[in-house]
Amino acid sequence: MANPIKYKTAVYPGSFDPVTYGHLDVLKRSLNIFDKVVVAVACNKKKPYLFEQSARIELINAVIKEDGGIDSGRINVVGLKGLLVKYVESINAKVIIRGLRAVSDFEYELQLATTNRTLNPDIETIFMMTAEKYSFLSSTIVKEISRLGGDISSMVPSIIAEELSKIYSKGENDETLM
Ligand code: ADP
């Protein structure tokens, strides 16, 4: 029987500022479907990232290397410049993976997917529903909790928790998060 999966490579783009267990779950599940997944780390001048693009790439690579459950040989982590669709075209891929956590993600993701399909109708965006236990999890929440000294060990790999605590242990916490 012919391989039902026509396209072997998928591109998983995002900020990954920093990478969380939610991202890793989507990545692992994508590897169950595709032979190769390219994690494309974005750099949008309008977004105030905590980690530089190069640091976000390094952290993802370090996490993948450490995680015994991920087939690192089938993952490529790259820095994205310019339009995502152009990058996807340049590597002859046809699939973009995005994760969906809640209805609140939907509108933005729909806009993004529709725009990308307008730019190139041959490239399809596939959505993965979050694993229930990560449905609340975002890089923003992780940074907020770490900033205020909370325990993020169930949300991110230890490498990430350590990097965040290095950054936030320097600052004073006189704010409240409820
Ligand atoms: P972006 O700035 O492009 O939204 P993110 O790093 O926040 O970048 O997210 C990248 C992708 O990963 C998005 O499609 C997002 O919905 C998905 N994602 C983030 N966190 C989770 C999670 N906990 N579960 C499932 N998908 C997630």
CA of 1 to the centre of ligand 1 (A): 35
User: Cα Rg for the chain, rounded, in angstroms?
Assistant: 17
- Averaged over 106-132, what is the pLDDT? 96
Number of independent structural domains in the chain: 1
Domain membership flag for residue 161: no
Residue 170 lies in a domain: no
Domain ranges, residue 92: 9-132
Predicted confidence band at 117 (pLDDT cuts at 50, 70, 90)?
very high
Q: Is 61 in the pocket of ligand 1 (CB under 6 A)?
A: no
- Neighbour count for residue 15 (Cβ, 10 Å): 19
pTM of the model: 0.93
Q: What percentage of the chain's residues is helix, strand, coil (to nearest 5)?
A: 40, 15, 40
Identify whether 150 is part of a domain: no
**Does residue 75 contact residue 31 with C-beta atoms inside 8 Å?**
yes
Q: How far is CA 169 from CA 34, 48, 156, in A?
A: 40, 20, 17
Tell me if 169 is assigned to some domain: no
CATH number (domain holding residue 69): 3.40.50.620
Rounded mean pLDDT of the chain?
A: 93
What pLDDT is recorded for position 3? Answer: 56
Do the domain assignments include residue 53? yes
**pLDDT reading at 81 higher than 80:** yes
